[in-house]
Amino acid sequence: MSRYIKYYFLGIITILLISCSKKIVILNPDRLERRKTAELIETLDSLSLRKPNFFYTKIATKFKDTNQSVSFKTSIRMVKDSAVSALITFAAIPIFNSMLTPDSLTILNKRAKCFTKAKLSYLKENFGYAFDYKNVEELILGLPLGYDTNQKYFQIHDPFNYIISSHRKREIRRNDKGKPDRKSDDDEIIIKYFLTNDAKGLKRMDIESPGDSTRVQVEYISRSTTDNYDIPKEVSIRVFTPRNVIRVNMDYDKVEINQPQPLVLVIPEGYETCE
């Protein structure tokens, strides 16, 4: 039945497009006024420091890759620079519980009654990008990923976007052609930060790792303000690796700022190491 419903709506949309085709007008986006590089970098400097001491939210998540497609809910609790806990539920039943610290990751599989303890390299093995603890906090809070106030950044001039990059445009082009300007570095990361049209917020990030042909695209589709913090509302993440394509969509709900909550993860007796 679901297949017929799908075709029904597809047919309706097609009919509407055909009937309105004479009225469709493609509008070009407005060109943005030029901004000084220093002004855009100042915005990123300010955004990168906007991190609350405590954070809580619930996120409805849709995950899809080349092998599976699942939907679940996640409760996130975070203590700045210390730990992030995530409880994943499916149909209101706890399935996974995890704790991330600056040097370790622990995951409880409640269904299989087993646990995994790993270093943060586990994230790279599963997502194709070497996330560290700080990056996970930045990703959850919608902050500039991997941004360093002591690093030099460059503006990539685009009439329709404000873009600040970790590399010059010339270097990016040479990397795209497989001809890096300097000695190849497998850990080199190219990051582009796309600012909002008013140059006051962050709307998107493109992260590329030329060494292992991995790209990550993070788009903050919408945001909400809680206690003067600009928190993501809808987020789309795409990870492209030579072996996989991962798509994650997240919808935030029930955000709480600077309200301390306990972060506890206890491995129950009888749980064995996950194979």
Question: Is residue 58 in a domain?
Answer: yes
Q: Quick one: DSSP state of residue 265?
A: -
Reported as a single tens digit per residue, the pLDDT across 82-119 is: 999 999 998 888 899 999 998 888 999 999 999 999 87
Question: Is residue 11 in a domain?
Answer: no
Tokens of 138: 């930045």
Mean pLDDT of the chain: 83
Reported as a single tens digit per residue, the pLDDT across 21-65 is: 444 444 556 899 999 999 999 999 999 999 999 999 999 999 999
Q: How far apart are CA 156 and CA 150, in angstroms?
A: 19
- The number of domains in the chain is 1
Question: Is residue 8 in a domain?
Answer: no
Q: 105: phi > 0 → left, psi -120 to 50 → alpha, else beta; which?
A: beta
Question: Is residue 187 in a domain?
Answer: yes
Q: Check which CATH number belongs to the domain holding 185 and give it.
A: 2.50.20.10
Asked if residue 157 has pLDDT above 90, the reply is yes
Question: Is residue 28 in a domain?
Answer: no
Q: How far apart are CA 246 and CA 127, in angstroms?
A: 8
* Residue 140: domain span: 37-265
Top-confidence residue, 5 or 72: 72
Q: Quick one: DSSP state of residue 14?
A: H
User: Residue 127 has what pLDDT?
Assistant: 55
Question: Is residue 235 in a domain?
Answer: yes
Tokens of 118: 């790993």
Question: Is residue 166 in a domain?
Answer: yes
In the beta sheet, which residues pair with residue 252? 59
Question: Is residue 1 in a domain?
Answer: no
3-state secondary structure at position 109: strand
Reported as a single tens digit per residue, the pLDDT across 171-219 is: 777 665 555 554 445 568 899 999 999 999 999 999 998 888 889 999 9
